[in-house]
């Protein structure tokens, strides 16, 4: 071959190699850009299932496979997604592939059209859904609670073991960790010059209290919320010692012992628990469910055409010797201008950190710092807030209310609202999926949380018997 021909061949080979290399890089780049997560939505009977999809995520494919029994709960979920897809501002672009039928669970497990199962529906079914999903090698993002019946707690323990064995993640949706006043309460409690050390408290005067008030009638994503009738049946939804209390128990662990693994077999002592009912007229029931009459399974809770919902609960327990109280109450509708409300106190040796959300705060969660017997130095507090915390949370400030009390000033931009917290939880979960693991403390603390709520249910049973 002539030298000219060899050069031409070499140039062609080099060009072909460069072209192939470029195509390979493009293919790799496109592969990297492909979403790594495909959602499976299982039996979406609660509005939280839709809120997970209120925004889009680069890591998640827009094509979602839904498996559920036919009925109004599925219809409500699909209507919510359609509303997100067609809203004027920042519409989503979900493509819902729906399978309806009595064998929906078996169909999902056999087809495996995704790798992350979102579970938010009838609480009595969740523990079994979770176990079946992780056993099939699927990651699970579950709305709280993961368990409502004490006899099911061992199955939840086994679910976490199975998830670890199969190399998948099991995680619950703890939105309240993203509420700004709770975040700042946790931050200030970690500064000894301000907070001192966490007090131990007593049964009658616990050192940590978390209370919340919720409402059956409310608006979600700008629409009146339609609740399924089973929501008012403690056998299907669970009582609030097992349901909403999970958020409050989680926050106590998260704030008092941040990133410290709990051992539920030795760190938790349930001291007492009780439950009581909220009444609902048939007119209120029709308004919030759209049903004309009580279904058969609710009739045992009806007297003189009034439904008595086992909606309220309080527990007192010790966590590593710290006395804590959790209380959840339900009312039918919030006062004008209000929504769900929260109260929280952490008692320190130098100050108490208190979140209030009453009429005085115009129903907006507000964090106060209250000095204990003059032990808090105003200079130390100002340094903590204006020099330390402002670096992480620009714009926050401090206002002196009286001689012993200050209010933390928080810009409105930090109050993103409960619905936005679902996207924040999902972003965390997606990061854990990329890393292939949860933080070391998360699984033991989920187990500790659900052990606490199940012990509360058992204690309330004993109190009634």
Chain centroid, CA 409 distance in Å: 26
SS3 label, residue 276: strand
Burial label, 440 (beta-carbon count in 10 A; 0-12, 13-18, 19+): exposed
SS3 label, residue 145: coil
- Contacts of 30 by beta carbon, 8 Å cutoff, 6+ apart: none
Integer Cα distance of 121 and 41 in angstroms: 10
- Contacts of 111 by beta carbon, 8 Å cutoff, 6+ apart: 65
The pLDDT value recorded for residue 223 is 75
For strand 139-142 and strand 170-172, is the pairing parallel, antiparallel, or unpaired? parallel
Task: Provide the CB-side half-sphere exposure for 38 (13 A, CA).
Answer: 14
Integer Cα distance of 281 and 44 in angstroms: 27
- The closest alpha carbon to 175, from 264, 51, 91, 268, belongs to 51
Burial label, 219 (beta-carbon count in 10 A; 0-12, 13-18, 19+): exposed
Integer Cα distance of 443 and 262 in angstroms: 9
User: Euclidean distance between the first and final Cα of the chain, in Å?
Assistant: 100
What is each CA distance from 111 to 38, 95, 136, 140, 165, in whole angstroms?
13, 18, 11, 16, 21
Is 145 within 8 Å of 435 (Cβ atoms)?
A: no
Query: Can you read off the two tokens belonging to residue 14?
Result: 């080099």
Element (H, E) at 50: helix 48-51
Q: What is the pTM of this model?
A: 0.89
- The closest alpha carbon to 172, from 134, 198, 200, 210, belongs to 134
Integer Cα distance of 134 and 448 in angstroms: 20
Element (H, E) at 26: helix 3-33
Question: Which residues of the chain carry a pLDDT beneath 70?
Answer: 1-33, 221
**All structural domains of the chain:** 39-172 (3.40.50.720), 176-464 (3.30.360.10)
Query: Can you read off the two tokens belonging to residue 430?
Result: 């997606």
The pLDDT value recorded for residue 33 is 54
For strand 351-356 and strand 366-371, is the pairing parallel, antiparallel, or unpaired? antiparallel
Range 438-443 contact pairs with CB under 8 angstroms and sequence separation of 24 or more: 438/169, 438/171, 439/259, 440/261, 441/259, 441/260, 441/261, 441/262, 442/171, 443/160, 443/164, 443/170
């Amino acid at each position: 071959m002539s030298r000219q021909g060899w050069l031409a061949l070499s140039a062609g080979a080099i060009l072909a190699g460069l072209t192939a290399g470029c195509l390979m890089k493009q293919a790799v780049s496109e592969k990297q850009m492909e979403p790594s997560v495909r959602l499976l939505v299982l039996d979406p009977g609660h509005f939280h299932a839709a809120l997970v999809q209120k925004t889009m995520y680069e890591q998640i494919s827009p094509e979602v496979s839904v498996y559920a029994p036919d009925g109004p709960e599925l219809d409500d979920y699909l209507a919510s997604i359609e509303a997100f897809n067609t809203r004027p501002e920042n519409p989503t672009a979900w493509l819902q592939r729906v399978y309806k039928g009595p064998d929906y669970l078996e169909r999902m497990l056999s087809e495996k059209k995704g790798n992350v199962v979102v579970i938010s529906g009838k609480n009595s079914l969740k523990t079994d859904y979770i176990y079946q999903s992780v056993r099939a090698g699927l990651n699970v993002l579950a709305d709280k609670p993961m368990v409502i019946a004490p006899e099911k707690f061992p199955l939840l323990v086994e679910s976490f073991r199975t998830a670890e064995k199969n190399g998948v993640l099991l995680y619950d949706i703890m939105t309240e960790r993203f509420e700004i006043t709770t975040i700042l309460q946790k931050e200030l409690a970690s500064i000894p010059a301000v907070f001192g050390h966490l007090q131990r408290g007593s049964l009658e005067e616990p050192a940590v209290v978390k209370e919340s008030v919720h409402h059956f009638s409310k608006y979600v994503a700008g629409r009146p919320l339609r609740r399924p009738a089973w929501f008012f049946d403690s056998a299907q939804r669970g009582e609030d010692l097992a349901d909403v209390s999970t958020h409050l128990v989680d926050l106590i662990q998260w704030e008092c012992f941040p990133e410290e693994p709990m051992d539920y077999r030795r760190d938790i002592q349930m001291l007492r628990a009780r439950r009581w009912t909220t009444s609902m007229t048939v007119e209120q029931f029709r308004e919030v469910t759209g049903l004309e009459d009580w279904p058969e399974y609710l009739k045992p809770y009806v007297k003189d055409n009034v439904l008595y919902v086992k909606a309220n609960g309080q527990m007192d327990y010790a966590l590593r010797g710290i006395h804590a109280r959790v209380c959840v109450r339900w009312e039918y509708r919030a006062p004008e201008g209000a929504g769900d409300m929260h109260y929280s106190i952490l008692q320190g040796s130098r100050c108490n950190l208190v979140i209030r959300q009453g009429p005085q705060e115009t129903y907006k969660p507000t964090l106060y710092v209250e000095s204990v017997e003059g032990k808090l130095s105003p200079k130390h507090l100002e340094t903590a807030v204006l020099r330390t915390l402002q670096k992480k949370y620009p714009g926050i400030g401090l206002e002196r209310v009286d001689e012993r009390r200050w209010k933390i000033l928080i810009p409105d931009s930090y109050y993103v609202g409960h619905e936005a917290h679902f996207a924040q939880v999902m972003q965390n979960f997606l990061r854990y999926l990329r890393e292939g693991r949860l933080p070391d403390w998360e699984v033991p603390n989920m187990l500790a949380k659900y052990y606490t709520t199940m012990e509360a249910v058992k204690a309330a049973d004993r109190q009634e018997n």
